[in-house]
Amino acid sequence: MTILNSYFGEFGGMYVPQILVPALLELEKYFVKYIKNKCFIKKMNKLLNNYAGRPTPLTLCKNITIGTNTKLYLKREDLLHSGAHKINQVIGQALLTKKMKKTKIIAETGAGQHGVSTAMVCALLDLKCKIYMGCKDIYRQNTNVEKMKLLGAKIVPVNTGTKTLKSACNEAIRSWSYNYHDTHYIIGTSAGPHPYPKIVHKFQSIISHETMKQIIKFEKKYPDIVIACVGGGSNAIGIFSKFLKKKNIKLIGVEAGGKNNYNNSASMKYGKTGIYFGMKSNVMQNSLGQIKDSFSISAGLDFPSVGPEHAFLNYSKRVKYVTINDQEAVDAFKILCKKEGIIPALESSHALAYAIKIIKKNPIIKQTIVVNLSGRGDKDISSVSSFVKR
């Protein structure tokens, strides 16, 4: 029996082979115990502040919004030590690993951001680290691969299936079912079997805590709209977390629309409820129940499902989920570079592109928008330049 409710409405659960259930229950037990433990929280916060670089700034973009009445803020998770929000929850899970007396870590990564964060924290805390990564992603995110290697992680190239994040996730679960006794699997997003979506929500909610304080300080009011990109959904759930109860704040999750209706990663728009990657959630699948290959220019969004809490927030209509295609994301990437001197991750560029759409649609309206800039874009420079050349 789980201690916490493993479902969000009808979404969630623990759909894994029986052998992994004890490992999940152990993780839940330690999470519940230590999340209320003052020493644990103090240690985690110390690492978040002095190692990862929290709090991150909330930057007002003055140039993009010239001629409009919009105030556009970026929550600068890109300025974290690892270059993305991923490190927030990796620190939490790595500390839990220590408490569970496990010595090894496995993780999977798409864009490489989660892999880099995991490798960094493992080096810091003396944990052995193995990262599963699809061969296609190894090719398109080579800078991050090199970083992970330098940090002492072993990269396991995944040559099966789609050779992207989807296949890497399958391989990581396979590996974990052999080694759960001394190995913790750090899932990098708010997807997967219970308790991962709850754990990731909790550890990423720091983004929301800070944003709320900062926006009140700057604007003396809450924002009107909060926007974040959604692959598995960790940065989005992180920035939405504290705003979920404030019903008058519009929350928007932006999925990867990819090339077209057939080549995308938008499981909320094009998927339906299914059971995949240990959870019941929105899944991109064909009419026969086989999981479809996803597609996005952004490796971090290239996943055929989404965290179960997002599926619930979509169902309950608390969050609006939209799509941005590759071209729109690349355009937003370039705009931010040129107008504000910030190179955003392609993932975050999707969120930014939707903010720009809103601003353009009604420039006169007085509004405050916060976009979660979940990561920086150095890793994406070659992807963008080859997209532009095409």
Partner 1 sequence: MKKRYRDVFTNLKKKNEKCFIPFIMLGDPDFNTSLNIIENIIKNGADAIEVGIPFSDPFGDGPIIQNANLRAINSNINVSKCFKIIKILRKKYFKIPIGLLTYANLVFSNGIRNFYKKCREVDLDSILIVDVPVEESKLFYKYSLKNNVSQIFLCPPNIENYVLKKIIKMSNEYIYIVSRPGITGIFDNNIFNTKIISNKIKKISNVPLIQGFGICSKYQIKKILKSKIDGVICGSIIVKQIEKYLNNKKKIILKINSLIRKFKKSTKI
From 30-38, 97-105, 160-168, 209-217, give the range in contact with partner 1 by CB under 8 A: 160-168
Smallest separation (angstroms) from partner 1 to the CB of 158 = 12
By annotation, the residues acting in catalysis are 61, 85
181 lines the binding site for partner 1 (CB under 8 A): yes
Least distance to partner 1, CB of residue 293, Å: 9
Measured distance CA(31)–CA(196) in Å, rounded: 10
Give the shortest CB-93-to-partner 1 separation in angstroms. 20
Between the two ends of the chain, the Cα-to-Cα distance in Å is: 53
Nearest residue (CB) to partner 1, 93 versus 162: 162
Q: Which residue in the set 68, 143, 177, 382 belongs to the binding site for partner 1 (CB under 8 A)?
A: 177
**259 backbone dihedrals φ, ψ, rounded to 5°:** -85, -45
Whether the Cβ atoms of residue 206 and residue 80 lie closer than 8 Å to each other: no
Residue showing tokens 């991109």: 284
Kindly state whether residue 163 participates in binding partner 1, applying the rule CB under 8 A: no
Burial label for 125, CB within 10 Å (0-12, 13-18, 19+), is middle
Smallest distance from partner 1 to CB 10, Å: 11
Q: Is 238 in the site for partner 1 (CB under 8 A)?
A: no
Choose the stretch contacting partner 1; rule: CB under 8 A; options: 79-87, 131-139, 173-181, 331-339. Answer: 173-181
Among 140, 166, 198, 242, contact with partner 1 (rule: CB under 8 A): 166
Nearer to partner 1, 16 or 356 (CB): 16
Pattern 270-289, partner 1, x by CB under 8 A: --xxxxxxx-x--x-x--xx
| Cβ atoms of 13 and 68 closer than 8 Å | no
Considering the complex, state which of residue 269 and residue 357 has its C-beta at the smaller distance from partner 1: 269
180 binds partner 1 (CB under 8 A): yes
Beta bridge partners of 322: 254
Using the structure block, give the residue that is written with the tokens 């504000």: 340
- Our finding on whether 9 is near partner 1 (CB under 8 A) is no
Please identify which residue in 82, 170, 296, 383 interacts with partner 1, judged by CB under 8 A.
170
181's CB contacts (< 8 A; 6+ apart) are none
- Taking a C-beta distance cutoff of 8 angstroms, is the pair 120, 82 a contact? yes
Q: How far is the CB of 279 from partner 1 (least distance, A)?
A: 10
- Compute how many other C-beta atoms are within 10 angstroms of the C-beta atom of residue 81: 17
Residue placing its CB nearer to partner 1 in the complex, 21 or 249: 21
Residue 157 in the binding site for partner 1 (CB under 8 A):
no
Q: Which helix (H) or strand (E) holds 75?
A: strand 70-76
Q: Give alpha helix (H) positions in the chain.
A: 21-34, 38-47, 86-99, 113-125, 135-140, 142-150, 165-179, 196-204, 206-219, 234-240, 267-270, 308-315, 326-340, 346-361, 381-389
Closest to 309 measured CA to CA, from 249, 238, 259, 256: 238
Q: Which residues contact 36 (CB under 8 A, 6 or more apart)?
A: none
How many residues bind partner 1 (CB under 8 A)? The answer is: 38
Alpha-carbon distance of 369 to 371, in angstroms, equals 7
Q: Nearer Cβ to partner 1, position 2 or 89?
A: 2
Q: How far is the CB of 182 from partner 1 (least distance, A)?
A: 11
- Segment 14 to 33, residues that bind partner 1, using CB under 8 A: 14-22
Rule CB under 8 A: is residue 105 a binding residue for partner 1?
Answer: no
Binding piece for partner 1, criterion CB under 8 A, among 67-75, 148-156, 220-228, 268-276 = 268-276
**Residue 168 within binding range of partner 1, rule CB under 8 A:** no
CB of 283 to partner 1, least distance (A): 7
> Considering the rule CB under 8 A, would residue 110 count as an interface residue with partner 1?
no
DSSP annotation of 379 reads G
Is residue 130 a contact residue for partner 1 (CB under 8 A)?
no
For 320, counting Cβ atoms within 10 Å of its Cβ (0-12 exposed, 13-18 middle, 19+ buried), the class is middle
Instruction: Note the residues at the interface with partner 1 (CB under 8 A).
Output: 1-2, 13-22, 160-161, 166, 169-170, 173-174, 177-181, 272-278, 280, 283, 285, 288-291
